[in-house]
């Protein structure tokens, strides 16, 4: 197959981890007889520096004309970087939000699973981690607080800031359907996370989710309040299969879920619209503190490339080949510093990429 992939390296560790993911894609292309063409685009701080804005319309058009988008990470140190002196709609993150919105990527899939080889990197007690876990967070990505009306103004001499959380029933229904569809292919359980004891938007979320559940009698639906979910994630993560939630709750819970897998450097993500088009990125950030040092863990980005093959190109055996190679490298004891523990072999970012390529 011939496919065009828009590639956004971004900021911080982005260029390093994307570089390794592209090598992995090239290895897959060679082995399975495909041809991938890469269309490199700028977004985030690097685009601010080069073009004066975090995402240009031209870059959006290039992403739209590709078959899928692979992204590293964007942003810098929020206290020291000059990018954060800019108004909020000109900062690196604004580029990512604009891209998600312009591509209609409302469904963000963030799988969090504990590899048994990394159980010692899991910060939870052994009695909890020994049970293992394998969940998928289905985060709504184009609504809620991230895209609601906001303003900061002085009211009676007092500076006041306002953000609004809005969802309509259609936005809730389409993401709930995605969650139930995915749950059907997994362990057939959806935990819908909300704050229905306080928020109107959450009460609507519950109502619509229950309506959707009627079409999936084979899938169990349970509701859980977000504060309780945060607690359950560290108390008994094995109880979760698909976690369905709105944008902001999903942002927070997915960082928590990723940390209990041992490292945020292990978690891929896919952002999808109604078609097979998608944007694939690691769940973690740009880690400016270790950028340029060849220390970052490229596995989350490599696994994002594998999700890209699976969801956008329907290349199942190619995706399996990448995932098996990652599993093998972990079994053989190779670790980047974020997942290193005594008795394992410490490797750099590019070495990890090569080890994975060699096992495909
Ligand atoms: C994420 C990130 C983004 C988000 C930031 C960079 C805007 O934290 O993808 O989880 O909040 O969605
Ligand atoms: Mg986040």
CB-based contact 354:71 (threshold 8 Å) = no
**From 285, 286, 287, mutation site for ligand 1 pocket: most ligand atoms within 8 A of C-beta:** 285
Q: Hey, is 172 helix, strand or coil?
A: helix
pLDDT in tens, 170-212: 999 999 999 999 999 999 999 999 999 999 999 999 999 999 9
Residues 281 and 295: their CA atoms lie apart, in Å, by 18
Q: Which residues contact 60 (CB under 8 A, 6 or more apart)?
A: 98, 99, 102, 103
Residues 172 and 139: their CA atoms lie apart, in Å, by 11
CA-proximal residue: ligand 1, atom 11 (nearest) = 251
Q: What is the DSSP letter of 269?
A: E
Counting Cα atoms < 13 Å in the Cβ hemisphere of 353 gives: 23
Task: Return the pLDDT at 335.
Answer: 96
Would strands 345-346 and 107-113 be described as parallel, antiparallel, or unpaired? Answer: unpaired
Q: Hey, is 21 helix, strand or coil?
A: helix
Please list the residues that pair with 8 across neighbouring strands: 41, 71
Task: Return the pLDDT at 147.
Answer: 95
350 catalytic residue (yes or no): no
Closest-approaching ligand to the CA atom of 110: 1
Element (H, E) at 357: helix 349-358
Question: In percent, how much of the chain has pLDDT > 90?
Answer: 93
Q: Which pTM value belongs to this model?
A: 0.94
From the number of C-beta atoms within 10 Å of its C-beta (0-12, 13-18, 19+), residue 70 rates as buried
**From 10, 89, 93, 248, mutation site for ligand 1 pocket: most ligand atoms within 8 A of C-beta:** 93
Closest-approaching ligand to the CA atom of 76: 1
CA-proximal residue: ligand 1, atom 8 (nearest) = 251
Closest ligand 1 atom to the C-alpha of 96? 7
CA-proximal residue: ligand 1, atom 9 (nearest) = 283
CA-proximal residue: ligand 1, atom 5 (nearest) = 93
Looking at every residue in the chain, the average pLDDT score rounds to 96
Task: Return the pLDDT at 121.
Answer: 85
58 catalytic residue (yes or no): no
pLDDT in tens, 81-107: 999 999 989 999 999 999 999 999 999
Residue 251: CB within 6 Å of ligand 1? yes
How many C-beta atoms surround the C-beta of residue 351 within 10 A? 16
Residue 326: CB within 6 Å of ligand 1? no
Residue 96: CB within 6 Å of ligand 1? yes
Closest ligand 1 atom to the C-alpha of 247? 12
Q: Hey, is 273 helix, strand or coil?
A: coil
Angle at 74 between CA 70 and CA 75, to 5 degrees: 180
Residue 140: CB within 6 Å of ligand 1? no
Task: Return the pLDDT at 119.
Answer: 86
Query: Mean pLDDT, to the nearest integer, of 238-261?
Result: 95
Query: Mean pLDDT, to the nearest integer, of 48-74?
Result: 98
Please list the residues that pair with 6 across neighbouring strands: 39, 69
Closest ligand 1 atom to the C-alpha of 141? 12
Please list the residues that pair with 269 across neighbouring strands: 281
Residue 93: CB within 6 Å of ligand 1? yes
195 catalytic residue (yes or no): yes
Residue 20: CB within 6 Å of ligand 1? no
CB-based contact 2:35 (threshold 8 Å) = yes
Angle at which helix 349-358 crosses helix 299-311, to 10 degrees, equals 40
| Confidence band for 257, pLDDT divided at 50, 70 and 90 | very high
- In the chain, the DSSP E strands lie at 2-10, 35-41, 68-73, 107-113, 134-140, 150-155, 158-163, 189-194, 220-225, 242-245, 268-272, 278-282, 334-335, 345-346
Between the CA of 13 and the centroid of ligand 2 the distance, in Å, is: 16
340 catalytic residue (yes or no): no
146 catalytic residue (yes or no): yes
CA-proximal residue: ligand 1, atom 4 (nearest) = 251
**From 94, 143, 251, mutation site for ligand 1 pocket: most ligand atoms within 8 A of C-beta:** 251
Catalytic residue among 251, 280, 334, 338: 251
CB-based contact 71:8 (threshold 8 Å) = yes
Task: Return the pLDDT at 60.
Answer: 98
Structural domains present in the chain: 1-116+266-360 (3.40.718.10), 123-260 (3.40.718.10)
How many C-beta atoms surround the C-beta of residue 344 within 10 A? 17
Task: Return the pLDDT at 284.
Answer: 83
Residues 330 and 121: their CA atoms lie apart, in Å, by 12
Question: What is 24-73 written as a DSSP string?
Answer: HHHHHHHHHT-EEEEEEE--THHHHHHHSSSS-HHHHHHHHHSSEEEEEE
């Amino acid at each position: 197959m011939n496919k065009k992939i828009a590639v956004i390296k971004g900021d911080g560790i982005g260029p390093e981890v994307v570089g390794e993911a592209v090598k992995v894609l090239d290895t897959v292309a060679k082995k399975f007889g495909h041809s991938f063409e890469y269309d490199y685009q700028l977004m985030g701080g690097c685009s601010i520096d080069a073009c004066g804005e975090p995402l240009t319309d031209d870059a959006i058009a290039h992403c739209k004309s590709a078959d899928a988008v692979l992204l590293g990470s964007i942003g810098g140190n929020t206290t020291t970087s000059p990018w954060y002196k800019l108004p909020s709609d000109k900062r690196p993150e604004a580029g990512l939000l604009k891209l998600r919105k312009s591509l209609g990527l409302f469904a963000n899939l963030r799988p969090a699973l504990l590899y048994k080889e990394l159980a010692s990197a899991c910060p939870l007690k052994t009695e909890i981690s020994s049970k293992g876990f394998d969940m998928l967070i289905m985060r709504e990505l184009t609504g809620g607080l991230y895209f609601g009306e906001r303003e900061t103004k002085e009211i009676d001499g007092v500076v006041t800031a306002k953000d609004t959380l809005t969802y309509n029933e259609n936005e809730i229904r389409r993401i709930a359907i995605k969650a139930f569809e995915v749950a059907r292919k997994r362990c057939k359980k959806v935990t819908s996370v909300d704050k229905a004891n306080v928020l109107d938007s959450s009460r609507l979320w519950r109502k619509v989710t229950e309506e959707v559940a009627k079409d999936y009698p084979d899938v169990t639906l349970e509701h859980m309040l977000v504060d309780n979910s945060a607690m359950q994630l560290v108390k008994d993560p094995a109880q979760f299969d698909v976690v369905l939630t709105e944008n902001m709750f999903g942002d927070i819970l997915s960082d928590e879920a990723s940390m209990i897998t041992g490292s945020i450097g292990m978690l891929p993500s896919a952002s999808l619209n109604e078609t097979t088009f998608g944007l694939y990125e690691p769940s973690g950030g740009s880690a400016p503190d270790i950028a340029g040092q060849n220390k970052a863990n490229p596995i989350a980005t490599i696994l994002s490339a594998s999700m890209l093959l699976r969801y956008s190109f329907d290349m199942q055996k190619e995706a399996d080949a990448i995932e098996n190679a990652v599993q093998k490298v972990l079994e053989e004891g190779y670790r980047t510093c974020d997942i290193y523990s005594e008795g394992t072999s410490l490797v750099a970012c590019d070495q990890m990429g090569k080890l994975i390529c060699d096992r495909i």
